[in-house]
Amino acid sequence: MTVIVKKIGGSVAVVIPKAVARDMQLSEGTALDVSSTATEIVMRKRGKRPRRPLSQIVAGMNPAAYRRHNRSLLGGTPVGREVW
């Protein structure tokens, strides 16, 4: 299948045919990794990042880092229109 490179503003673009987009399950906003060599351009659909459990994220937090920046993990006084 041959496609044409088109100029859009200061960049160039390739339109992916509808059949290819459907086969690859591509839709507007899908992220692609693009790599190239002297003679090839390769586009790969980005894999989803694995989600970490909240307990693992919290375990990696350093409360001392928040104190250094005069912030608190638990808060102390209202900042906006919170009801305390």
Distance from C-alpha of 28 to C-alpha of 18, rounded to nearest angstrom: 12
User: Is 57 inside any structural domain?
Assistant: no
CATH number at residue 25: 2.10.260
Total domains, the chain: 1
pLDDT at 50: 79
User: H helices within 1-84, ranges in order?
Assistant: 18-23, 54-59, 63-68
Taking CA atoms, 70 is separated from 40, 53, 76, 83, 84, in Å, by 51, 27, 11, 22, 21
Kind of pairing between the strands at 11-14 and 5-8: antiparallel
Distance from C-alpha of 21 to C-alpha of 53, rounded to nearest angstrom: 33
Whether the full predicted model's pTM is greater than 0.85, yes or no, is no
Tens digit of pLDDT at every position of the chain (84 positions):
889 999 999 999 999 999 999 999 999 988 899 999 999 999 998 877 778 899 998 888 887 776 655 555 556 666 777 776
pLDDT at 5: 93
User: Is 30 inside any structural domain?
Assistant: yes
User: Is 19 inside any structural domain?
Assistant: yes
**Residue 39 belongs to domain spanning:** 5-45
